[in-house]
Amino acid sequence: MNTETAHGPDEAVVVFARWVGQNGKKTNATTEAGPRAHIYSSSIPPAEPIRPGTRVRILATSPAWYTTYVGDNEMYDAYDAHVVGEVTGVAGWKGRKIVLQIANECAINPIKTVRLRIPFAPNVTVDMQDVHVPLGHHEAHETDLNTTSVVRTSSGDFQCGARTCCPPWRKLVGENFLQEPMLEDVGDRTGADGGHAKMQVRLTSWHEIAMTKSRTD
């Protein structure tokens, strides 16, 4: 990973990780879903070790051959996961991976709790000198770290503005767009006296078109 992708524009440490799922489900069909947490997993060491208090930005990865049919299994594309925030603590362990909890600040992402699984490699992936490793959990092996992969990034991967984030279309049309009337059932017909006249819009199916054509042939 090059230095250009070591930090985001807000100086958050960039972490490349893949989305693996979520936890928190409805207890039954009539109750609302409780707070959900999305889970990401990484084996690529970040540019610097992270710890509680570190501000991070997650760029989600997917194999490059999904879009370019490149045969290299160690090449990935990155996209903005809209996860930016501070590591608040340790949520648990997953084998030789430590699970860090992140308070997501993105204004448009409804998922406010994110958990990141990352190999427990002190001074490489994490700075956890004060964290007690529970009995039965071990440090990551060298083979647990992916140091040979290539991740392709672009400037568009850093669009999430955390607390100031907004949908891309809102930046183009502004807030007043939401106040404009939207006509769903009528259309405009030009040439009428006094300006535009309203006419009812009728949707025609392909079946009707075919039947009309057969009657005229």
Q: Give residue 210's region: left, alpha or beta (phi > 0; psi -120 to 50).
A: alpha
Domain boundaries in the chain? Answer: 3-166
d(CA 96, CA 116): 13
Q: pLDDT band at 186, cuts 50/70/90?
A: very low
User: What confidence category does residue 115 fall into, taking pLDDT thresholds of 50, 70 and 90?
Assistant: very high
Q: Which residues of the chain form beta strands (DSSP E)? A: 13-23, 37-41, 55-63, 75-94, 97-104, 113-119, 150-152, 186-192, 195-200
Share of the chain above pLDDT 70, in %: 62
For residues 20-27, average pLDDT: 70
Cα–Cα–Cα angle for 73, 37, 83, rounded to 5 degrees: 60
Q: CA 101 from chain center: how many Å?
A: 16
Report how far apart, in Å, the C-alpha atoms of 180 and of each of 94, 163, 169 are. 50, 26, 15
**Predicted confidence (pLDDT) per residue in 33-68, tens digit:** 556 899 999 999 999 999 999 999 999 998 887 777
Q: What is the band of 1 on the pLDDT scale with cuts at 50, 70, 90?
A: very low
Whether residue 154 has pLDDT greater than 80: no
Mean pLDDT for the stretch of residues 158-178: 67
Which is nearest to 102 in space by CA: 91, 113, 94, 118? 113
Q: What is the value of pTM for the model shown?
A: 0.69
